[in-house]
């Protein structure tokens, strides 16, 4: 069974540009969540999508957005990049069934974004 | 004060030693995760707990919901256990099938020397 796939693995962008990152969840998983990891702030929740709908959003500016497609693949977009957006961006997928809390999260390898 | 506190921040051990990493949280949770991150970034989920204790190989995780505390133990530690161990809590109630917002601790850097 293939794991969570994130593309690209590495990315260098210039300030002011925009970037789109992709996450393909494990087959059958409908929940995809995104996280930002920086040396200063650690891991922080960005947003979560389930069945093409954003269910939760973290405390990030509107420059950070995302979407999920009907095949559960998700993309996140950062517009008007700033130096502080340099980070490792991780996504995780999970299979949810009803209201069960016993759903494991499986993480991708991440996309390392460097803004210069 | 962070919602999730881990201790210690750094831990150095000799191969074979018994390791304990602690995690305390201040919010109501539906589950707690222990994650492992090796250099290079990839995160592996070790355990997800909502009560009691789980064991997988040399790893044991416990949680005390009343005290809002969890511990990760590594028995007979090995240099390949060297990594950052992260505690994360899942807060909120499931609604409409999903609620996967995780709040993370700062992590514990474990180094196991041969």
Task: Name which of A88, A95, A106, A104 is nearest A4 in CA terms.
Answer: A106
> Which of A56, A58, A106 has its CB closest to that of B45?
A106
* Interchain pair A107, B90: CB under 8 A: no
The shortest CB-CB distance from A96 to any of B30, B97, B106 is to B97
pLDDT level of residue B97 (50, 70, 90 thresholds): very low
User: Looking at the complex, does the CB of residue A1 fall below 8 Å from at least one CB of chain B?
Assistant: no
What pLDDT is stored for residue A103 in this prediction?
73
Whether A109 has its CB under 8 Å from any CB of chain B: the answer is yes
Q: What is the pLDDT of residue A52?
A: 92
Residue A84 has pLDDT above 60, yes or no: yes
Which chain B residue has the Cα nearest residue A39? B106
* Stretch among A78-82, A104-108, B78-82 having the lowest mean pLDDT: A104-108
B33 touches chain A (CB under 8 A): yes
Q: What pLDDT score was predicted for residue A2?
A: 74
User: Chain B partners of A105 at a C-beta cutoff of 8 Å?
Assistant: 33, 45, 48, 100, 102
Give residue A100's pLDDT band: very low, low, confident or very high (50, 70, 90).
low
Quick one: pLDDT at residue B58?
97
Q: What percent of chain B has pLDDT over 70?
A: 91
Q: A90-94, B87-91, B108-112: which has the highest mean pLDDT?
A: B108-112
In SS3 terms, chain B reads as CCCEEEECCEEEEECCCCEEEEEEECCCEEEEEEEEECCCCCEEEEEEECCEEEEECCEEEEEECCCCEEEEEECCCCHHHCEEEEEEEEECCCECCECCCEEECCCEEEEEEC
| pLDDT band for position B32 (cuts 50, 70, 90) | very high
Confidence class for position B96, pLDDT limits 50, 70, 90: very low
Facing residue for A55 by CB, picked from B31, B90, B98: B98
* Nearby residues of A1 by Cβ (< 8 Å), 6 or more positions away: A26, A27
The band of B112, judged by pLDDT with boundaries at 50, 70 and 90, is very high
What are the beta bridge partners of residue B98? B95
Q: Taking residues B97-103, what's their average pLDDT? A: 67
Predicted pLDDT of residue A49:
92
What percent of chain A stands above pLDDT 90? Answer: 77
**Given CB atoms, is B41 within the 8 Å cutoff of chain A?**
yes
d(CA B15, CA B89): 29
pLDDT for the residue numbered B95: 47
pLDDT at residue A54 is higher than 50: yes
Residue B29 contacts A, CB cutoff 8 Å: no
Mean pLDDT of chain B: 90
| Sign, CA torsion B61/B62/B68/B69 | negative
What is the reported pLDDT for A105? 85
């Amino acid at each position: 069974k293939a794991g969570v796939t994130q593309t690209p693995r590495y990315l260098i962008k210039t300030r002011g540009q925009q970037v789109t990152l992709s996450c393909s969840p494990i087959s059958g998983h409908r929940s995809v969540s995104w996280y930002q990891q920086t040396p200063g702030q650690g891991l922080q929740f960005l947003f979560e999508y389930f069945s093409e709908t954003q269910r939760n959003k973290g405390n990030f500016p509107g420059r950070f957005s995302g979407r999920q497609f009907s095949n559960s693949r998700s993309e996140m977009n950062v517009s008007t990049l700033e130096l502080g957006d340099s980070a490792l961006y991780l996504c995780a997928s999970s299979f949810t069934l009803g209201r069960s809390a016993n759903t494991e999260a499986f993480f991708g390898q991440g996309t390392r974004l460097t803004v210069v | 004060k962070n919602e999730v506190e881990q201790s210690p921040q750094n831990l150095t051990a000799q191969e074979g030693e018994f390791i304990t990493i602690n995690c305390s949280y201040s919010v109501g949770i539906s589950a707690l995760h222990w994650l492992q991150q090796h250099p290079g970034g990839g995160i592996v989920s070790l355990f997800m707990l909502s009560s009691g204790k789980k064991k997988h190989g040399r790893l044991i995780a416990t949680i005390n919901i009343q005290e809002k505390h969890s511990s990760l133990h590594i028995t007979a530690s090995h240099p390949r256990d060297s990594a950052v161990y992260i505690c994360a809590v899942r807060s909120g109630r499931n609604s409409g099938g999903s609620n996967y917002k995780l709040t993370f601790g700062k992590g514990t850097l474990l180094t196991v020397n041969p």
